[in-house]
Amino acid sequence: MPRITLPDGSVKSYDAPVTAAQVAADIGAGLAKAALGAKVDGVLTDLATTLDRDCALAIVTMKRREGGIDPEALSMLRHSTAHIMAEAIQRLFPQVRLVYGPALDTGFYYDMAFPDGKVPSTDDFARIEAEMAKIVAEDRRFTRYDLPLMEGMTKLRSEGSKYKLDNAERAAEAGSTTLSWYATGTPGKDWEDLCRGPHVPSTGRVGAFKVMSLASSYWKGDETSDRLTRVYGTAFASKAELDAHMVQLEEARKRDHRVLGKQLRLFHIDDMVGQGLILWTPKGSIIRNELQNFIGAELRKQGYQQVYTPHIGKLGLYRTSGHFPYYRESQYPPIVEHDEMARLAAEGCSCADLSNRMAKGEVDGYMLKPMNCPHHIRIFASAPHSYRDLPVRLAEFGTVYRWEQSGEIGGMTRVRGFTQDDAHLFVREDQVAQEVLGCLSLVKIIFATLGMNEYRVRVGLRDPDSAKYVGDPANWDKAEQACRDAARSLGVPFSEDPGEAAFYGPKIDFVVKDVIGRSWQLGTVQVDYNLPIRFDLSYAGADNQAHRPVMIHRAPFGSMERFIGCLIEHFAGAFPLWLSPEQVRVLPISEKSAAYADELCAALKARGIRAEADHSNERVQAKIKVAAEEKIPYMAVVGPRDAESRAVSVRARGVEANLGEMPFDSFVDGVVREAEGRLLSGAPGTVQASFAARPG
């Protein structure tokens, strides 16, 4: 006699066990039609699940009650589509051995082995999709059946599928006493797959789908193991959503910083140097330098002092800070000095011994710095401070090193060495609010200059039920309020996340939304009560007693690598004038105007503008095409007539037509003004906008 509690608190009682589908039908025909799955006591399951005891039931549909797509429903739909794709591929490639096919945030994949070497290619996608469409049209039910573990194993052994057998063994190790299959239709007759589920009710419910790409992988990620083919696909509830996804992917592909970085020669990653280690080419270095100069100048205005610190530090330093031996798996291994190494070798010390003895502090060494804070702390501690000296604000574009698994790195967003726009503020308790506010006002200026107007902040607060936090609760209250107030002052959306604070203090994170709607998590501002204690920092108060300062860590843009990766995609490589590696390309129409072109180029360079003349023998149309591909903001086309009238024909990036003519000096002045003003392309005050503003 199950009593079933629904999300609105109402209860339905039944005399006999009932399926979730039946309950949905009893609630309403509309819900029964939209239902894809069920949540029983919070666990996602099939709609066909029988309810034989009291439980809480929520019917899962693609749309959530509070609006928007239900991610669990979407994930179920995608995994169901993975089954359909696997069946379709098996029809076309009968030798295939299936391994594993989970859903992803953007779709799904299925790992497959092709023992005969006949592997599908992108040319087969249309055929696979056509087979999938047939299976969808047949609208077969996903039918689950369970077998006791041993019986299930015997079945898998008889089918000779070592991959599925391995999946089953792992399920057994995790405590499963039964194995489940999902037949697409009737068990024993239709296609089936060993699977935990859940699935949507039938193949007709999967919506719009597409086979996306192929990649090679290894069984269990082990390179010495069987080579597998990973077939990626995606699925959405509707064709419109799939189409929107494809448009976004295409836009993202055009903006991909890895592709643009290579095409525009902004950075290079070299196997001989090491994966995840960015080599900044001359062009990329210009962007980074301009950005650092800009941020650096704003920091100076706010009373920050520049410092420089080395890339390594002694293990003892990080033992004091708490970075070692914890977080060891995210750091490069330590460096041991020659003499120490020789002594240890003579003792017959093994690598394992060495590692243990370093962790215990019996052997010292150096570490590539994972954080800049300890170095800055030692600068602060190197001199006595009075309450009148505070805040002390130490800033450095500090390079740090973190160990990332090789599978996780790529481009500028996951790297093993990166430069933070770091600073540490040593402040009095009563200065925390003011200083957090200062950090945010700086961020606001920089985002506004870059035209990144859609961003939000997350304020990480204490978990009210936890006692893990260091520092005085009264100070925490003040610091949390300071973070909230500062976040509110930005006038952008912000959320409060209880439990997201570090154990040592509350924080503010920045998330930027790019032009195509993707979110980039950038940097952070963190209040810290812990490191001043660990390093026993103090300043002399007005009472002449020693007082403990509070630290604020801030790297609002995270790292220069990640931030510039984000900027490349934000601007799609078309940087505003001030950030562009080459700002003006001078294009002489012929040899006759070469001298005039050089004169213009020299005049621009003399004013600090990065200008080059294209003296190639190409026709001017070809020169324009090259400059456009290189995304150079302005082209100055000069011919013999321009030389005579001392004028320039101006073209702007992204504008098909010639903007018109401008006197030589006005053009040079205009470009300088636009660069120095750090104006966005086409904004009021730019050379481009001055043409639009001209009458007639």
**Which sequence positions are flagged as catalytic?**
373, 402, 420, 422, 424, 507, 553
Tokens of 340: 């120490």
Q: What DSSP string runs through 372-395?
A: SHHHHHHHHHTS--BTTTPPEEEE
Q: Which is nearer to Zn ion, 184 or 229 (CB)?
A: 184
Q: What DSSP string describes 527-576?
A: EESSHHHHTT--EE-TTSSEE--EEEEEETT-BHHHHHHHHHHHTTT---
Give me the least distance between CB of 552 and Zn ion, in Å please.
Answer: 9
Which residue, 108 or 578, has its beta carbon nearer to Zn ion?
108
Please give the single-letter amino acid code of residue 200.
V
Smallest gap from Cβ 264 to Zn ion, in A, equals 32
Nearest distance in Å: CB 5, Zn ion: 28
Q: How far apart are CA 180 and CA 51, in angstroms?
A: 18
Q: Is 1 helix (H, G, I), strand (E, B) or coil?
A: coil
- The DSSP element (H or E) to which 72 belongs, if any, is helix 71-92
Q: Which is nearer to Zn ion, 82 or 587 (CB)?
A: 82
Distance CA 211, CA 565 (A): 29
Measured from the Cβ of residue 338, the count of other Cβ atoms closer than 10 Å reads 7
Cβ closest to Zn ion, residue 231 vs residue 452: 231
CB of 422 to Zn ion, least distance (A): 6
CB nearer to Zn ion: give 286 or 527.
527
CB atoms closer than 10 angstroms to residue 430: 11
Q: Which residue has the tokens 């994972």?
A: 370
Residue whose C-alpha is closest to residue 611's, from 575, 631, 635: 635
Q: How far is the CB of 197 from Zn ion (least distance, A)?
A: 6
Compute the half-sphere exposure of residue 528: CA atoms within 13 Å on the CB side of its CA. 22
Residues that bind Zn ion (CB under 5 A): 195, 373, 553
Asked whether the beta carbons of 106 and 244 are under 8 A apart, the reply is no
Largest Cα–Cα distance of the chain, in whole Å? 99
- Least Å from the CB of residue 182 to Zn ion: 5
Per 3-state DSSP, the chain is made up of helix, strand and coil in percentages (nearest 5) of: 40, 25, 35
Q: Are the CB atoms for 615 and 672 separated by under 8 Å?
A: no
Nearer to Zn ion, 205 or 610 (CB): 205
Nearest to 420 by CA among 556, 536, 570: 556
- Taking the complex as a whole, the smallest distance from the CB of residue 249 to Zn ion amounts, in Å, to 25
331-338 long-range CB contacts below 8 Å, 24 or more apart? 331/367, 331/368, 331/370, 331/401, 331/402, 331/403, 332/367, 332/368, 332/401, 332/403, 332/416, 334/358, 334/365, 334/366, 334/367, 335/365, 335/366, 335/367, 335/368, 336/363, 336/365, 336/366, 337/365, 337/366
CB of 322 to Zn ion, least distance (A): 12
Amino acid at 547: H
When the beta carbons of 431 and 524 are compared against Zn ion, the nearer one is 524
Residue 180 or residue 289: which is nearer to Zn ion going by CB? 180
Helix (H) or strand (E) holding 255: helix 239-255
The least CB distance from residue 207 to Zn ion, in Å, is: 17
Smaller CB separation from Zn ion, 371 or 675: 371
